[in-house]
Structure 1
């Protein structure tokens, strides 16, 4: 069985700037590392639920439709924007595209800007996800 989240995380780590974030512990899935310093940039990829079945043939699902939220947190607002642009380009290489909605805000409690966006994609026909 294949794991789309793992594949997307690997694609992100191919970018040199994102790889630096990964090496400091800032690239994570599901939840930002609590022990990560407040001033450190992070990228968190969060599944929004189980991949939905789609592309039916003979009452059998032939594809999956996963949705992910990508949350970038940094002390500099433009760092969030630049990293989300990189995420968008890298996800597009895997057939994932940005959806409407998300979050673009500054949190006083954490002293970080947060840019969170939703991405959707489809597995290829007959792939086991």
Structure 2
């Protein structure tokens, strides 16, 4: 029995998405673990030196781990997904960096990182 092409394509798309998410999570785990290994000042300086893409990717990963619900973070992540070329405003960038730094040091993120390793 042959599988219809549309179903096979959908299954392949799901497999590709799963593999991409797994790779993304592995990359972000390394980044967050590196940030956790730093003292607070070094961690803050590293976060503030992130380019926009890495900032948003790490913020997305940490935001999902934290389980918090921030309308601001959701809006920034949605905007960046809809228009990845758009540069964040200075205020958005500063707020995103501050939120990322605070979320990285949140106990829920630290315990979640220990569980996923």
Q: State the TM-score, normalizing by the size of structure 2.
A: 0.34
Q: Greater strand percent: which structure?
A: 1
Q: State the TM-score, normalizing by the size of structure 1.
A: 0.32
Q: Greater helix percent: which structure?
A: 2
Rg bigger for which structure?
2
